[in-house]
Homo-oligomer: A and B are copies of this chain.
C-alpha cells in the first residue's frame, strides 16, 4: 500500500447505519419500469428484504400512475422545495404539492428521516443506466454507484455517474428528502411502455444497491477509488421562431448520442428546410437527455455535462455502529 493510499484510508468517510430504505416508483406516472416494480413489490415485498435494514416500496404519484401521465397538475419531482414543503395547505394547491408534503412527512422529516432513497425513472433518451445524484457531498451514494458499476451483471445498459450539483436549499427533487439517495434513470423507453429488458436491468440495479447497503451495515469497508462523473453544465433549448415555437429539431447526428463527446462545430439541430445548426461552444461537452419527451415543455433539447475525474475517499460504518443482527 502506498503512502497516498494509506492517507486516503485514514481519511475514510464514516457514515451511520442505514436502517430504513424507501424505493420510489411512479414519481412520474408514465415511466413504467418503476411503476411496474413498485406495484409488484407492494404485493410481494420479500425481494427487497435484507438482514440489516428495512426496505419498503412506495408508489410516489398514484393519481398520475392511474392516468398514465407524468403528473396531474405539477411535476412532482420539482415539488420538494422548502417553499412548497413548508407552506400551509390550501384548497387551491396542485395535487402534487399535497402529495409532496405527504411524502416528506412520511419519509423525510424529523424522526422519520429515511437513510437511503432510491427513486426509479425512465427516459426516452439513450441514457443507459444513469445513476443520478443531486449532492456532491453524498459519499455513500457515490460508493453505491461505484458498486453498481462494478458488480451488476448485465452490461446491456451501461452505468453512468451523473451529478446535478445543487445546494440542498435549492434542491426540488424527491431524492432530496432522504439522508442519502440515488435516482436510477433508465432509457430509452417510451412513456407509457413497459419494456422487459429495461425493467429487468432496473430490478437488477435495485437489488445490487440493497446488497451494497447490507454489506455496509455489516461493517464492510469500501476502499477509496477514482471515477469519472458527468456533471451538469447547462440546459440547451430548441431554436425558436419569433412566436416562441420550436423551429428546428434534434439533428440525426446528435440523436441517441447521449454521453458521446460533442465537439465545437458539430451539427446539433436541423430546420424543416434542411439547414443544419452547429454547436457553437468552445469546448467539448457530453450531451445528455437528448430529445427527452418530457423536457419539451421545460424548453430543454439536451443537457450539457462535463466529465469530471473524482477521487473518492474510503467508506466505512461509524465506529461502534455495527449492526447487531436484529432489525430495528
Contacts and interface: CB of A to CB of B under 8 A. Distances in A.
Interface of A: 36, 39-40, 44, 68, 124, 188, 190-197, 199-200, 245, 249-252, 255, 270, 272-273, 291-294, 296-297
Interface centre among A192, A200, A270 (most CB of B within 10 A): A192
Given A255-B197, A272-B36, A272-B40, A293 B250 contact: no
B200 A252 contact: yes
Nearest to A187: B190
B249 A196 contact: yes
B293 A196 contact: no
Contacts of A249: 36, 194-196, 199
A249 B36 CA distance: 9
Contacts of A255: 195-197
Contact of A190 (B191, B196, B197, B200): B191
12 contacts: A39-B245, A40-B272, A44-B272, A124-B192, A124-B193, A191-B191, A193-B292, A195-B255, A195-B291, A196-B255, A197-B252, A200-B252
B36 A293 contact: no
Copies of this protein, total: 2
A250 B32 CA distance: 13
Interface centre among A36, A68, A272, A294 (most CB of B within 10 A): A272
A239 to B, nearest CB: 13
A272 B194 CA distance: 12
Contact of A196 (B188, B245, B251): B251
A108 to B, nearest CB: 28
A194 to B, nearest CB: 5
Given A36-B272, A272-B36, A192 B252 contact: no
Contacts of A251: 196
Contacts of A44: 272-273
Given A36-B272, A249-B36, A272-B36, A293 B192 contact: yes
A8 to B, nearest CB: 42
Contact of A294 (B192, B196, B293): B192
Given A36-B272, A249-B36, A272-B36, A293 B190 contact: yes
A296 B192 contact: yes
Nearest to A292: B193
Contacts of A194: 249-250, 291
A251 B293 CA distance: 25
B293 A193 contact: yes
Contacts of A200: 252
Contacts of A192: 124, 191, 293-294, 296
A195 B193 CA distance: 18
